[in-house]
């Protein structure tokens, strides 16, 4: 049995829904279908979820959401019309939205989630109706009825572990199940959504709960690429990579799958297969527990801008018990998360995304690290890019760092920082943002250009 998830662009029009239908019925193992809300039909188009967020915002500001609401309805109506579905479906969607928009607004975040979640909820009903119209037994299943329970954190819900056992009983249902992605219910029976793009998470939770043999995630690209296609033209496709490699690569250009979506599948040892709705015969990319290493040490190169490093030095830091804990506790008290912490005997750098700082926070942090930890030097360096060179094959391969740093030197890129992940699956290079593109190109050239595809 397979769990199949389709993203917003795979369901953006009637034509796309027809493709989804063909893909599902072409394999009898595809029993559970998780759907997103209709996404963009073209780069200028708007996602239904974004329109819904706007509707909810207007309501919360006591403004009239009618225009946005009409646009949402028009999106569903266009799909229904293309698919020759009855108007009743659209009336039901309109009624559902009107009910949601008049719901209790005393907690604005909860209200927002209730409205946002309607995008996938109504789309699942529409898709189920289309499957039935095609003569296939298909049922819309609501997450509450199925037992998908989540924490009551608006816009950032986490699955409650007891959900997994409950979801297992979905296996007994007949026909194809059409399940809305992106949200679950709290113990109190209220709607809470995952973070944005969270339908990927729903699919992974269902794959785990139902003990599926495979979680297929259909999107609009042929594969996960070995490097961001915006930096290198037609880069090499990755056929297979491990969960760990996928995690290390989770920066710009590798966001095909939601970060949190790997965990449930990984815990149950279920492979994830990324495939293209618009080209279902392409082999796609499989994310697995282990893979054969046949393609050289590096599987992918990811990078991202917008980082800064807090450099802290103090003589005899290595002997001071609790220094690191106290340093990180200062960051914790501001709610900051960090990515890497390269360190030396008497110094440590903490690398974090600089968009987390609010005005004045930076100066305050520097001051506290200086005074509370009696540090010799505290310097924040801005506008850094991180480059991750990733591959399980690096573990047993001598000279990968040498090859990478030589390539960077040849491209005249100064390495500000370097860190080898303890797992030896990744290497991190910190460079100035202006050098990012050149650095990635040089590394790609070094590790991939010579490798036969």
Q: Which residues are annotated as a binding site for substrate?
A: 49, 120
Tokens 């796309």 sit on residue: 16
How far is residue 331's CA from residue 337's CA, in Å, rounded to a whole number?
8
Cβ atoms of 249 and 303 within 8 Å: the answer is no
Binding segment for ligand ASP (CB under 6 A), chosen from 166-174, 194-202, 282-290, 436-444, is 194-202
**x/- letters, 96..135, toward ligand ASP (CB under 6 A):** -----------------------x----------------
Site string for ligand ASP, 7-26 (x = CB under 6 A): xx------------------
Smallest gap from residue 246 Cβ to ligand ASP (A): 17
* Closest residue to ligand ASP in the complex (CB): 199
Task: Find the shortest distance in angstroms from Cβ 82 to ligand ASP.
Answer: 20
Integer CA distances (angstroms), 413 to 301, 349, 402, 419, in order: 16, 20, 14, 16
- The distance of closest approach from Cβ of residue 358 to ligand ASP in the complex, given in angstroms and rounded to an integer, is 25
**What distances in angstroms separate CA 264 from CA 125, 269, 414, one per listed residue?**
25, 9, 39
Rounded to a whole number of angstroms, the minimum distance from the CB of residue 183 to ligand ASP is: 9
Q: Which two tokens stand for residue 443?
A: 């590394």
Taking CB under 6 A as the criterion, the residue among 143, 154, 181, 264 binding ligand ASP is: 181
- Contact region with ligand ASP (CB under 6 A), list: 97-105, 197-205, 213-221, 302-310: 197-205
Whole-number Å distance between alpha carbons of 441 and 427:
16
224 makes contact with ligand ASP (CB under 6 A): no
- Cβ 45 to ligand ASP, closest distance in Å? 13
- Residue 159 CA to residue 204 CA, distance in Å, equals 11
Q: How far apart are CA 318 and CA 48, in angstroms?
A: 53
Nearer to ligand ASP, 46 or 82 (CB): 46
Which member of 9, 10, 197, 226 binds ligand ASP (CB under 6 A)? Answer: 197
Contact 97, 121 (CB under 8 A): no
Residues belonging to the binding site are 5-8, 49, 120, 219-220, 225
Q: Per CB under 6 A, which region of 191-199, 271-279, 318-326, 442-450 contacts ligand ASP?
A: 191-199
Q: Which stretch binds ligand ASP (CB under 6 A): 193-201, 210-218, 371-379, 402-410?
A: 193-201
Which CB sits closer to ligand ASP, 37 or 428? 37
Residue ranges for the known binding site for ATP are: 5-8, 219-220, 225
Residue 425 corresponds to which tokens in the numbers above?
A: 């699956």
- Is 290:31 a contact under the CB 8 Å cutoff? no
Q: CB under 8 Å, gap of 24 or more: what pairs does 328-331 form?
A: 330/365, 330/368, 330/369, 330/372, 330/373, 331/365
Among 13, 163, 199, 400, binds ligand ASP (CB under 6 A): 199
Q: How many CB atoms lie within 10 A of CB 425?
A: 21
Total number of residues shown for the chain: 453
Contact call for residues 52 and 122 (beta carbons, < 8 A): no
- Smallest separation (angstroms) from ligand ASP to the CB of 92: 20
| Separation between Cα atoms, residue 308 and residue 118, nearest integer Å | 38
Only one of the segments 67-75, 198-206, 288-296, 325-333 lies at the binding site for ligand ASP (rule: CB under 6 A); that segment is 198-206
CA distances (Å), origin 258, targets 246, 250, 325, 354, 373: 11, 9, 30, 21, 37
Which 376-415 residues touch ligand ASP, going by CB under 6 A? none
Helices (H), 278-410: 323-333, 361-372, 400-410
Q: What mask of x and - would describe binding to ligand ASP in positions 36 to 75, judged by CB under 6 A? A: xx---------x-x--------------------------
3-state DSSP of 427-442: EEEEEEHHHHHHHHHH
The binder of ligand ASP chosen from 40, 196, 370, 403 (CB under 6 A): 196
To ligand ASP, the closest distance from the beta carbon of 119 in angstroms equals: 5
Closest CB to ligand ASP among residues 40, 173: 40
**Number of residues counted as binding ligand ASP (CB under 6 A):** 14
For 316, what's the count of Cα atoms within 13 Å in the CB-facing half-sphere?
4
Residues that bind ligand ASP (CB under 6 A): 7-8, 36-37, 47, 49, 119, 181-182, 196-200
């Amino acid at each position: 049995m397979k769990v199949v998830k389709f993203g917003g662009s795979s369901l953006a029009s009637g034509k796309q829904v027809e493709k989804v239908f063909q893909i599902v019925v072409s394999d009898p193992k595809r029993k559970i279908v998780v759907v997103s809300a209709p996404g963009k039909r073209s780069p200028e188009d708007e996602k239904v979820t974004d329109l819904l967020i706007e509707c909810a915002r207007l309501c919360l500001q006591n403004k009239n959401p009618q225009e946005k609401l009409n646009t949402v309805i028009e999106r569903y109506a266009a799909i229904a019309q293309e698919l020759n579905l009855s108007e009743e479906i659209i009336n039901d969607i309109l009624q559902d939205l009107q009910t949601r928009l008049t719901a209790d607004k005393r907690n604005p975040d909860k209200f927002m989630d209730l409205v946002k979640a309607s995008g996938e909820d109504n789309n699942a009903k529409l898709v189920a109706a289309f499957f039935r119209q095609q003569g296939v037994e298909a049922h819309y299943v609501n997450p509450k009825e199925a037992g998908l329970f989540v924490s009551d954190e608006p816009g950032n819900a986490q699955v409650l572990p007891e959900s997994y056992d409950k979801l297992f009983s979905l296996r007994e249902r007949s026909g194809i199940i059409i399940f809305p992605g992106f949200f679950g219910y709290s113990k109190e029976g209220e709607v809470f959504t995952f973070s944005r793009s969270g339908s990927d998470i729903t699919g992974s939770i269902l794959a785990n709960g139902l003990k599926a043999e495979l979680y297929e995630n259909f999107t609009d690209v042929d594969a996960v690429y070995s490097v961001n296609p915006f930096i290198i033209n037609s880069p090499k496709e990755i056929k297979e990579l491990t969960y760990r490699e996928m995690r290390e690569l989770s920066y710009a250009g590798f966001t095909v799958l939601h970060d949190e979506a790997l965990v449930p599948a990984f815990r149950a040892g279920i492979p994830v297969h990324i495939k293209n709705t618009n080209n279902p015969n392409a082999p796609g990319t499989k994310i697995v527990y282990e893979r054969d290493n046949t393609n050289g040490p590096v599987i992918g190169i990811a990078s991202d801008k917008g980082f800064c490093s807090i450099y802290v030095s103090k003589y005899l830091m290595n002997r001071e018990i609790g220094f690191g804990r106290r340093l990180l506790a200062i960051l914790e008290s501001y709610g900051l998360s960090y990515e890497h912490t390269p360190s030396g005997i008497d110094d440590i750098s903490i690398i974090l995304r600089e968009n987390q700082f609010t005005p004045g926070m930076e100066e305050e942090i520097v001051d506290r690290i200086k005074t509370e930890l009696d540090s010799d030097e505290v310097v924040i360096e801005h506008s850094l890019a991180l480059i991750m060179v990733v591959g399980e094959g690096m573990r047993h391969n001598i000279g990968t760092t040498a090859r990478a740093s030589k390539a960077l030197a040849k491209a005249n890129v100064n390495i500000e920082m370097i860190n080898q992940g303890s797992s030896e699956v990744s290497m991190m290079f910190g460079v100035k943002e202006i050098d990012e593109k050149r650095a990635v190109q040089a590394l790609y050239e070094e590790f991939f250009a010579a490798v036969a595809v």
